[in-house]
Copies of this chain bind each other. A is one copy, B any other.
Amino acid sequence: MDSRQEQIQGRTTMSEHAAVDQEASNARRGRGASGGAAARRAARSGGGPGTQLTYIKRKINVYEVLDEEGLALIEKNTDTVLEEIGIIFRDDAEALQLWKEAGADIKGERVHFPKGLCRSLLKTAPSVYTQHARNSERSVQIGGNATVFAPVYGPPFVRDLDGVRRYATIEDFQNFVKLAYMAPSIHHSGGTVCEPVDVPVNKRHLDMIYSHIKYSDKPFMGSVTAPERAEDTVAMAKIVFGDDFVENNTVLTSLINANSPMVFDETMLGALKVYARHNQACIVTPFILAGAMSPVTVAGTLTQVLAEVLAGASFTQLIRPGAPVLFGTFASSISMQSGAPTFGTPEPSLVSYGAAQLARRLGLPFRTGGSLCASKVPDAQAAYESANTLNSTILAGTNFVLHSAGWLEGGLASCYEKFMMDIDQLGMTQKFSEGVDLSENGQAMDAIRQVGPGSHYLGCDHTQANFQTAFYRSNIADNNSYEQWLAEGEKTAPQRANDLARRWLESYEAPYLDPSIDEALKDFIAKKKGSMPDAFT
């Protein structure tokens, strides 16, 4: 508790410091100009990132795999699980006390929920919220028809630009933050884009949060590996945004995994409580390898997922009614031969689609999917699996997409080349989400009349007027002739992605950060680090 108190003290000091700059900081939030300049320069040098896109506002329909009867059946079964089997809240006396007061039946650490309790609590959770970025142009809507793409989360390894697979470092971490900052189709800086294994594990979160703030102006995620690290995250956010702003708004969206099946552990509950108390968003996510952490069937998995989310998400409302919380689902299956997780296969897609439907009925923003794969290299397997996952992610109507880019090896490695290929796919997804333009220009009747039978549209007025925006332009795909491709060195997609990543990193320029905020952040980190011995486990 001593370190907590110290943190809270430190936070207060820092917050006062930050308050001085808040007005200026707020004014700056409209800028984003330096990012634009870097983008423009990179674009001029060829293969630059291009114009930043705001989060996706889907104009397309969602795809659904369950009808009303199926949804009602799963919800009924979920009520049975919650009431009869219950969910363990492990090593957290406060949580058990809160649940008791709320009317749950506590047996040991197992919480049994009377029918309707969780749903009733969730009525105070918002279906849509804004996560503010320090550049207000990069603030994102989470929920409703919005989709937000965030990078890969969690890998201890990287596959680097020399094709070497090794432990990740803080430099890699910063590189991925930089690439995500530059990527037009990445709307969110994410969290642990890779584990900076060269930094002591108890201090790592400070450098990670600082990197997100320093090297990007997109919104980011908080540390969840210990409650005090969550507190540090909130404290650093207050330096940037100011105390009041943080308490009254949401500037962090953080990942709270259930320990499936049907357990929330003290680490995750501790982080959840910190974020919820400060009005910051939690993504309550059953991390499911079906066949191991859930039943081998889709309907069985959905039942357990819904039970875990109902318990964990409604717990945030016991902490602070109105705190944003997402319905998360990480869906994978295991190989029945080896027990290894598999990705991009049919069953997790069905789980994602079904879970999205359950989330909509609950009125919570939904997180699933990304560009998931089991491949060890950015090859065809990686791409098939990632594309399958991403297609179901977007059509499910997912609101927050972690692991959108860079994920390799079932999440064990962050891969630069795959990151660049994936963001190209995200751009396509964003274009697809605009749906069909039915305006007069979209109908193109004048073009059809002008061209007529047996001619071509290449030079017609309508084509000339629309060719800049008509089709998505990939910066990875090679659509040239075989002969031209040969002449250009027979490069594969990952090789082209490698070239692009190098060019982007060379042309990167950090977005403006008020020097006094930067200093305050550095002071905070120095003090925190000075108070702790190095720990590597």
Contact = CB atoms under 8 A, between A and B. Distances in A.
Nearest to A496: B381
A466 interface: yes
Given A443-B300, A471-B345, A477-B342, A432 B380 contact: no
Interface string A58-93: 001101111001100110010011001111101000
Interface stretch (A204-212, A270-278, A287-295): A287-295
A338 to B, nearest CB: 6
A293 B456 contact: yes
Contacts of A61: 63-65
A297 interface: yes
A295 B448 contact: yes
A293 B458 CA distance: 8
A192 B478 CA distance: 26
A447 B381 contact: no
B297 A374 contact: no
Given A60-B65, A379-B494, A454-B88, A443 B297 contact: yes
A476 interface: yes
Interface string A250-277: 0000000001011100000000000000
A336 interface: yes
Q: Which of A86, A337, A342, A383 has the most CB of B within 10 A?
A: A383
Contacts of A344: 428, 477
A391 interface: yes
B452 A336 contact: no
A448 B387 contact: no
A217 interface: no
A299 B437 contact: yes
Interface string A343-363: 011110110001000000000
A428 B531 CA distance: 53
Give the residue among A81, A334, A438, A471 with the most B Cβ atoms within 10 A: A471
Contacts of A387: 383-384, 387-388, 391
A346 B453 contact: no
Interface in A436-459: 436-438, 441-445, 447-449, 451-458
A480 interface: yes
A81 B435 contact: no
Interface string A7-28: 0000000000000000000000
Interface in A392-421: 392, 395, 409-410, 412-413, 418, 421
A280 interface: no
A174 interface: no
A462 interface: yes
Copies in the complex: 2
A304 B384 contact: no
Interface string A299-321: 11111100000000000000000
B303 A443 contact: yes
B338 A478 contact: no
Nearest to A265: B454
Nearest to A374: B479
B85 A340 contact: no
A31 interface: no
Contacts of A69: 438
Given A65-B436, A293-B456, A342-B474, A492 B380 contact: yes
A511 interface: no
Given A435-B65, A436-B66, A453-B87, A304 B345 contact: no
A453 B262 contact: yes
A435 B297 contact: no
Nearest to A444: B300
A81 B493 contact: no
Contacts of A528: none
A485 interface: yes
8 contacts: A61-B63, A63-B395, A262-B452, A296-B471, A302-B436, A350-B436, A379-B492, A384-B425
Interface of A: 60-61, 63-66, 69-70, 73-74, 77, 80-81, 84-88, 90, 110, 165, 259, 261-263, 290-304, 333-342, 344-347, 349-350, 354, 374-388, 391-392, 395, 409-410, 412-413, 418, 421, 425, 428-429, 431-432, 435-438, 441-445, 447-449, 451-458, 462-463, 466-468, 470-474, 476-482, 485, 490, 492-494
Given A65-B435, A85-B448, A299-B442, 6 more contacts: A261-B451, A291-B470, A297-B443, A346-B431, A347-B472, A381-B421
The 6 lowest CB-CB distance pairs between A and B, nearest first, are: A300-B444, A387-B387, A383-B383, A262-B453, A295-B444, A346-B432
